[in-house]
Structure 1
Amino acid sequence: MSTGFLTVDLDALTSNWRALDGMTDVETAAVVKADGYGLGVAKVGRALIKAGAKRLFVAAAEEGVELRQAVGPNVEIFVFSGHMRGDTDMIGDMMLTPLVNTVGQLTRHLEALPEHPFGVQLDTGMNRLGLEIGEWASVAEIALSQNCRLVMSHLACADEPDHAMNRQQLEQFHLMTDGIEVPRSLAATGGILLGPEYHFDMTRPGVGLYGGAPFTDAQPVAFLDLPVIQVRDVEVGETVGYANSWTAKRPSKIATVSGGYADGLIRALSGGANLWHGDQAVPLVGRVSMDLITADVTDLPELPGVLSVLNQDQTVDALAERAGTIGYEILTSLGPRYQRRYAGG
């Protein structure tokens, strides 16, 4: 095989869900958008349902269709983008629950699917999605008298516990929703960690399920191993890769590894990441290219057949830090060429 192996530990995934669920006294749903954060929405969704999740969240109706086909009819699937023009048949036929974001979306939904369930997303200060306070005041009575399943908002700075925005959004959410009888949700992974004030009736963890910050106690879920295609000897002064960006300062053995930015190993990792042979780190040298990376394996006791990118020693957040990004980007960029293997679940 010349493509890498992405191993997904479904037992770790469900253990992370149970750990986050155990931090609250309310219902815990799960966010599985972007193909289950890059790990395969069908297997991820089924494992989370088996663990106890009764409601799942996706970004778009098309994602909801794929998820519904994988998990069957007995789980509620919320769609963050709401009821977009052209989505009516998908929403109705696949029993999706759109989270309407505008007065226009609410009107479209009630006119096209008058008995069909929906939710409402409110903007409490993030200025990205949702009804603002005046819009909500104008339609709340109508919306809440229909088949409204959830009223939610989203925190902008929950990964920074001391950020003033958290308290500001919490107070705004209370102002907009106190007294309603429909279930409420404000907290994703970071919101759960902020404490019970933020939990309301339902939490909806995302990245923490997949081993990412800010849930620092999460178990790693994704493990990535790449095959070595060739090992060559490089003499002092010779260069490796595009733009001659790395020059050998000693006689070196350089492994050419199958994987590149087409596979989610983003170019910003160039010259700054490690690969692993067992518990021994080896530096990535030269530029990350589309299909290949190169690593200095001179100090290994044997020539490797496989090198690891994600493992117990280098998690998605550790790799992201080396690239100057976040674990979300590493996870959701993992490419389709990897052979995916699932453990547990």
Structure 2
Amino acid sequence: MTEFETDLSASDDFDVAPVRLTVDLGALADNWREMARRSGRARAAAVVKADAYGLGIEDCGTALYEAGARDFFVAVAQEGATLRAYAPDARIYVLSGIWPGQEAIFYEHGLVPVLASEEQLAFWMSVTAEHGDHPCALQVDTGFNRLGLPPEEAIAFADDVSRPASFSPVLVLSHLHNGDTPSSDLNRRQLESFRRVAEAFEGIEASLSASAGIFLGPEYRFDLTRPGIALYGGEAVAGEPNPMKPVARAEARIIQIRDAKKGETVSYGGTHQLSRDSRLAIAAAGYADGYLRSLSGSGVPLRQVVEHGAFGFVAGRKVPVVGRITMDLTIFDVTDIAPSEIRAGDYIELFGPNMPLDDVARAAGTIGYELLTGLGLRYERRYVYPDS
């Protein structure tokens, strides 16, 4: 029976948390500087939507602002209002635009709506006519079939001499839908389409490239780039080495290590049968913590396509998930780790410097974006600052 020392004094919550997340703000800042360098003559913004890709808009926004970012992109107005306190003189763009009832938040916090439809354009003109000039941006759809005016409509609008003087766009932008595949002809088509729009809005800054587009070359960068996933350590280009520093490390505490016999089954449905006498580590993380059920070692449809599930990292070794991941718990096979090197209470890395985010995502049949933005509420967080 294992003996534990007891201590009734106050402890650091991070040191005893069932699941915990370490965010390296120094690496985040370095990644932004690297993307700014790769942007060449273009200015690099920072995309901090979805709570800075799940890592915390307050701390990440502050670190990016202190690194030099002065242009930010958020998805919704409330994110922009939160960010304003941490980026006092930055230009903050709201990608979902503006809707009736949101006028006050845009004017009060100096947010820039990204207008993507004729309806939003008409509404914004009525807002500025009533409340005074305020900057906006215009989004153009160059082939994504998501948000934005068709290029022809945008060009016609640029040439419309009856356009109200109160309409003051400071940026025209579009978005590549295949930028992470450099060989795709679709990138060139979108580039040519956007170039025509940018020329029609002469004197107004233009932006086409997010993280992946920056790697496509100077002609894709225009005046402003919008790095997002690369800032947080994720892969921007498929099939290429990732030059970015890892930013987030997710860990789960091992609650129990148990012995199991050859032939016994593991987890719900008994979908994994042990081929040897084994030692199993039960960790305090599951799909409620964003450790997706599709990462299971067996018993999920994805395993018919992708041979293995996720691995964790503990005691200097990669260890596989066995059986199905459950809501709050995941089982790892630690048979190949000496008993003296691992014990209950240790932490196992789910993703981080030793288990690259995108490798884990591929095992789940998804992308790093989803793992980061799906982090649950139970993670105790620690932010590592550049000087610490």
TM range, smaller chain: over 0.9
**Percent identity over paired residues:** 43
Q: Counterpart in 2 of 1:55?
A: 71
Q: Deviations over 1:203-252 (max 9, x none)?
A: 11000111111261001111112101111111222222111121222221
Q: Secondary structure at the match of 2:192?
A: helix
**Contact 1:103–1:139 at 8 Å: present in 2 too?**
no
Residue pairs, 1:219-298, within 5 angstroms:
219-271=245-297, 272-298=309-335
Q: What CA deviation, in whole Å up to 9, does each residue of 1:7-47 have, x standing for no partner?
A: 01111111111111111112111100010001111111110
Give SS of 2:321's match. Answer: strand
Contact 1:144/1:182 (8 A) holds in 2: no
The equivalent position to 1:111 in structure 2, one of 105, 126, 146, is: 126
The residue matched to 1:285 in structure 2 has which SS?
A: coil
Give the letter for the 2:146 counterpart. Answer: R
When residues 236 and 278 of structure 1 are mapped into structure 2, their CA distance, relative to the original with a 3 A threshold, is closer
Query: Hey, what does 1:325 align to over in structure 2?
Result: 366
* Aligned residue type for 1:122: V
Match of 1:202 in 2: 224
State yes or no: 1:39 paired with 2:38.
Answer: no
Kindly state the Cα deviation for residue 50 of structure 1 after the two structures are TM-superposed: 0.5
Q: Which residue number in structure 1 is paired with residue 18 of structure 2?
A: 3
Give the Cα–Cα distance (whole angstroms) in 1 for the partners of residues 232 and 74 of structure 2.
Answer: 15
2:124 partner letter? H
Measure the CA separation in 2 of the matches of 1:259 and 1:124: 41
Q: Which of the residues 111, 121, 128 maps onto 1:96?
A: 111
The answer for the alignment partner of 2:35 in structure 1 is 20
Q: 1:156 aligns with which of 159, 172, 177?
A: 177
Which residue is equivalent to 1:303? Answer: 342
Residues 110 and 145 of structure 1, relative CA distance in 2, 3 Å threshold: closer
Task: Give the whole-Å Cα distance in 2 for the aligned partners of 1:250 and 1:143.
Answer: 76
Distance 1:120-1:331 versus aligned 2 partners, 3 A rule: same
**Structure 1-normalised TM-score?**
0.96
What is the identity, as a one-letter code, of the residue corresponding to 1:59? A
Q: TM-score, normalised by structure 2?
A: 0.85
CA distance in 1, matches of 2:366, 2:375: 14
Calculate the aligned-residue CA RMSD, in Å: 1.5
Runs of 4+, deviation exceeding 6 Å: none
Give how far 1:3 is off: 2.1
SS in 1 for 2:63: helix
Code of the residue aligned with 1:185 in structure 2: it is S
Change (3 A) 1:341 1:250: same
Measure the CA separation in 1 of the matches of 2:32 and 2:382.
20
1:74 and 1:222, CA in 2 relative to 1: closer, same or farther beyond 3 A? same
Q: Tell me which structure has the larger Cα radius of gyration.
A: 2
- Find the residue that maps to 2:134 and give its secondary structure: coil
Contact kept in structure 2, 1:2 and 1:258, CA below 8 Å: no
What amino acid is the match of 2:140? L
Shift of 1:278: 3.5
* Distance in structure 2 (CA, Å) of the matches to 1:168 and 1:186: 12
Q: Could you tell me how far 1:77 is from its partner in structure 2?
A: 0.8
Q: 1:317 is aligned with what amino acid? A: D
Q: Secondary structure at the match of 2:235?
A: coil
Q: Confirm or deny: 8 A CA contact 1:78 1:97 kept in the other structure.
A: yes
Q: How far apart, CA to CA, are the structure 2 residues paired with 1:184 and 1:104?
A: 22
Shift of 1:55: 0.8
Contact preservation (8 Å) 1:238, 1:248: yes
* Structure 2 unaligned blocks of 5 or more: 1-15, 298-308
Q: Which runs of 5 or more structure 1 residues have no equivalent in the other structure?
A: none
Secondary structure in 2 matching 1:154: coil
Instruction: Name the counterpart of 1:188.
Output: 210
CA contact (8 A) 1:103 1:135 kept: no
Equivalences for residues 100-179 of structure 1 within 5 A: 100-113=115-128, 114-140=132-158, 141=160, 142=163, 146-179=167-200
Q: CA deviation at 1:134?
A: 3.3
Question: Aligned pair 1:336/2:357, yes or no?
Answer: no
| SS in structure 2 at match of 1:178 | helix
